[in-house]
């Protein structure tokens, strides 16, 4: 996939995820074409959202990017929201971060 078509697919994935989250009552905004200047999506307090809309995701690499960007933007726990064609959205997080969320939810 060429650079432009890859960027287009990424932007489509961001719009698609934002629309899905909106149906669940979660309002987010896209960083748009500000590559590296804003997160992919922002507005989920305490969560840094990294969006990947690819068929073959390199999960460790995506998590490293999410962690580095979460540190850069200081916007929360890094999470990779990802999906393949014709499959549901998934979320990948570090276990310690997920446990933190779970403990807070239970409290």
Report the pLDDT value the prediction gives residue 6, as an integer from 0 to 100.
75
Q: What is the pLDDT of residues 62-106, one digit of tens each?
A: 999 999 999 999 999 999 999 999 999 999 999 999 999 999 999
Q: Is the pLDDT of residue 22 over 70?
A: yes
- φ, ψ of residue 51 to 5 degrees: the values are -105, 130
User: For residues 88 and 44, is the Cβ–Cβ distance under 8 A?
Assistant: no
Domains of the chain in start order, with CATH, are 3-106 (3.40.1350.10)
pLDDT above 90 as % of the chain: 82
User: For residues 30 and 18, is the Cβ–Cβ distance under 8 A?
Assistant: yes
Q: Is the pLDDT of residue 8 over 90?
A: no
| Mean pLDDT estimate for the chain | 92
The helix/strand/coil state of 16 is: helix
pTM (two decimals) = 0.91
User: For residues 66 and 91, is the Cβ–Cβ distance under 8 A?
Assistant: no
Report the pLDDT value the prediction gives residue 52, as an integer from 0 to 100.
96
Confidence label for 2 from pLDDT (cuts 50, 70 and 90): low
């Amino acid at each position: 996939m060429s650079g432009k078509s890859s960027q287009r697919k990424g932007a489509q994935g961001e719009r698609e995820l934002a629309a899905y989250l909106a149906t669940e009552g979660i309002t987010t905004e896209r960083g748009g074409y500000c590559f590296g200047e804003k997160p992919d999506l922002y507005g989920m307090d305490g969560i840094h959202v990294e969006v990947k809309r690819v068929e073959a995701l390199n999960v460790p690499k995506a998590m490293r990017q999410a962690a580095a960007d979460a540190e850069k933007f200081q916007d929360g726990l890094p999470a990779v929201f990802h999906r393949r064609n014709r499959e549901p959205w998934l979320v990948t997080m570090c276990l310690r971060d997920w446990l933190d969320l779970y403990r807070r939810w239970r409290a």
